[in-house]
Structure 1
Amino acid sequence: MKYILGVDGGGTKTEAIAYDLKGNIISKGVSKFGNLLVNNEKALENIREAIDNCTKELNIKECIHIYLGIAGVSAGDNKQKVMKYIIESFHCETTVVNDAELALSALLKGKDGFLTISGTGSICIGKYNNEKVRVGGWGHILGDEGSGYYIALEALKKIIFEKDMGYTKSNFTKMILDNLEVSDEFDIINFVYNSDKGKISAIVPVIVELSKNNDSTAIDILKQSGRELGIMTARAINRMKINETVNIGISGSILTNINLVKESFVNVLHKEVKDFRIYDECASPTIGAYYEVIKYINS
């Protein structure tokens, strides 16, 4: 059976899904992070592991194309590294794009529009009349505003500020320190500098729970996250100078699952964009590989 292999590699996990030529899923495989900016060598191993897990019951010679959307490939020669590694490992026609491009193809099913992703990291990309635009996606040190990592760091900074000001330890601080299984604010230093992005972002559910209990600090952080994502998206759209309804896809657990973030995001768009339509269908980014390869085959 001929098939197309889509691979989505992010900051916490890598997913590989094989699709037949009608778009039906025939096999899946997962592994840990695929973002080369986290750890170059380990990310490549994780990408291969996801593909191996997906194809262990399939014949790799029947794969007509491996189409990968990998976080971090826009930096340096990372795209070439992934391409070389995959071709040498599987001897198959291969395309490597940023993970956001793959997700855009998946959510909008090949139509023109924009996609804002907020998971462990964040980015907005768009394509319109054969032109492409990208805003954000600068990584956790230079950017990733509005992401899970951003939310977690903002929360930890609030705790540090509280300590520096000599304030009584708030419930916000107590809840997060309990989650980290530490008792002292200075333990945050060790946690941050000895944890990867995924582990740091894992405190976001605590912040969401605090917001549901009307904790003002948690609410402010989540709302600011949404505003940052809205500003990022508006910048991308306005650079294209579009005068018609704009298709905007949203993806990633932060933007699609946290209502405060999404509401704040949409509020910014209402102020900055003339007319838009939100797409938030739940679909694996890997289906974008199917749409792109089939479009190429039929062109």
Structure 2
Amino acid sequence: MEIKIGVDGGGSKTEIVALDQTGRVLRNLRKPASNYHLVGMEQATQNIIEGIRDALQEESVQGIGISLAGIDTPEDWKNMADNLKGELLVLGQKTGVNFQDIPVALENDVYGALMSVRGEFSGNVLAAGTGAVALGINPEGRVIRVGGWGHLIGDQGGGYDIGRKALVAMAASFDEYGPKSLLESTITKHLGLARVQEIIDWLYQAKRTNKEVASLVPVVVETASRGDFIARSILVEAGVGLGLLTRALLRKTKTLELGIVGGIGNIWGYIESSFNSTVSVEFPTLQILKPIYTPSVGAALLSTIDQVRHIEF
């Protein structure tokens, strides 16, 4: 039996799958994070290699697709490719697998998300979790990317953006230079703080991660459901931000279908209206698609796509 292995790596976890020739998932594994900007190159590489090792059994490997958060620049790609190449050769010596003869695709995690929509390297995808990025293929087959600029200058509508705005609103409410909001009490309670001012120690710890700020999204949703205008406004702004990303992508790809992938789907009901109203200004007939695969399966399918980058041994 021949298998494909897919690796979908992010800032909180790495998911690995082994697929048979029909696309059936034989094994589904999980390892720690593999965004090397967050955990370091050595740890990220180790988590990926251990995942691939554990996915191997007696089958012949037809291809490996690796889609990772943090692979944003040519330098990112080269650094990760060089490290993975060396470790795959070592793994091959231990397992008897000749990785030099196996196509190994390596791309940003949004590529696996795109493949998860329909199992094809086509169409558009909006991937929104902690951050936000959109990717699509134009009629000439060119890859178009919009967003993904990181939390300092982009990622509008992603979980970090929502969480950060909630913290801003909490501080403004407490100091009374902004409107009063229940976020002042709901965030304090959620984080187990005795006083609002303790948010400073919580937020500015050296190891505080973007994902932890993004974990405040359910608090914002719960506060909005209680009628808090500020919490509702933050979610409306998230829908608008994601809608603007989508509009920018659709102008370039000219394809009126969009898959939505990532944690933002868990709160879609709260942002759908503002997203739709933003997109429909230019693209009233946009069709939203539900992905048919997980991003890790999408990553596995990348291995045989010629338009993506492959590690050369």
Tell whether the 8 Å contact from 1:208 to 1:258 is kept in structure 2 after alignment: no
1:85–1:248 CA distance, 2 compared to 1 (3 A): same
Q: Return the letter of the residue paired with 1:7.
A: V
Query: d(CA) in 2 for partners of 1:161 and 1:219?
Result: 16
Name the counterpart of 1:69.
67
Note the 1:34-183 alignment, pairs <5 A.
34-41=34-41, 42-55=43-56, 58-59=57-58, 62-75=60-73, 77-91=75-89, 92=99, 93=102, 94-110=104-120, 112-129=122-139, 130-165=141-176, 170-183=181-194
Note the 1:199-214 alignment, pairs <5 A.
199-214=212-227
Q: Return the letter of the residue paired with 2:33.
A: F
Of 256, 270, 289, which aligns to 2:299?
289
Structure 1: runs of 5+ lacking an equivalent = none
Query: d(CA) in 1 for partners of 2:244 and 2:228?
Result: 25
Secondary structure of 1:182 counterpart: coil
Of 182, 185, 196, which aligns to 1:185?
196
Instruction: Give the deviation of 1:157 after TM superposition.
Output: 0.6
Cα root mean square deviation, aligned: 2.2
Q: Provide the TM-score with structure 1 as the length reference.
A: 0.88
Query: d(CA) in 2 for partners of 1:43 and 1:252?
Result: 21
Query: d(CA) in 2 for partners of 1:49 and 1:237?
Result: 38
Query: d(CA) in 2 for partners of 1:229 and 1:88?
Result: 38
Query: d(CA) in 2 for partners of 1:295 and 1:78?
Result: 20
Between the two proteins, the alignment pairs up a number of residues equal to 290
Secondary structure of 2:83 counterpart: helix
Secondary structure of 2:115 counterpart: helix
Instruction: Give the deviation of 1:128 after TM superposition.
Output: 2.0
Query: d(CA) in 2 for partners of 1:162 and 1:45?
Result: 45
Tell whether the 8 Å contact from 1:16 to 1:28 is kept in structure 2 after alignment: yes
Query: d(CA) in 1 for partners of 2:276 and 2:244?
Result: 10
Cα deviation, 1:169-220, whole Å, max 9, x if unaligned, reads 7432111011111123332222222211222211211111112222211111
Cα deviation, 1:6-46, whole Å, max 9, x if unaligned, reads 11112221101111121111111112222223233333333
Cα deviation, 1:71-112, whole Å, max 9, x if unaligned, reads 110135221222222222233232111111111011132153
Query: d(CA) in 2 for partners of 1:142 and 1:53?
Result: 38
Secondary structure of 1:181 counterpart: coil
Query: d(CA) in 1 for partners of 2:300 and 2:46?
Result: 23
Query: d(CA) in 2 for partners of 1:167 and 1:220?
Result: 13
Q: Return the letter of the residue paired with 2:69.
A: A
Q: Provide the TM-score with structure 2 as the length reference.
A: 0.85
Tell whether the 8 Å contact from 2:181 to 2:230 is kept in structure 1 after alignment: no
Q: Return the letter of the residue paired with 1:230.
A: G
Secondary structure of 2:271 counterpart: helix
Instruction: Give the deviation of 1:247 after TM superposition.
Output: 1.3
Query: d(CA) in 2 for partners of 1:84 and 1:49?
Result: 17
Q: Return the letter of the residue paired with 2:48.
A: I
Q: Return the letter of the residue paired with 2:301.
A: Y
Secondary structure of 1:249 counterpart: strand
Instruction: Give the deviation of 1:290 after TM superposition.
Output: 3.9
Q: Return the letter of the residue paired with 2:163.
A: A
1:167–1:122 CA distance, 2 compared to 1 (3 A): closer
Query: d(CA) in 2 for partners of 1:257 and 1:167?
Result: 26
Name the counterpart of 1:16.
16
Query: d(CA) in 2 for partners of 1:215 and 1:260?
Result: 13
Structure 2: runs of 5+ lacking an equivalent = 90-98, 307-313
1:168–1:108 CA distance, 2 compared to 1 (3 A): closer
Query: d(CA) in 2 for partners of 1:143 and 1:10?
Result: 18
1:64–1:31 CA distance, 2 compared to 1 (3 A): same
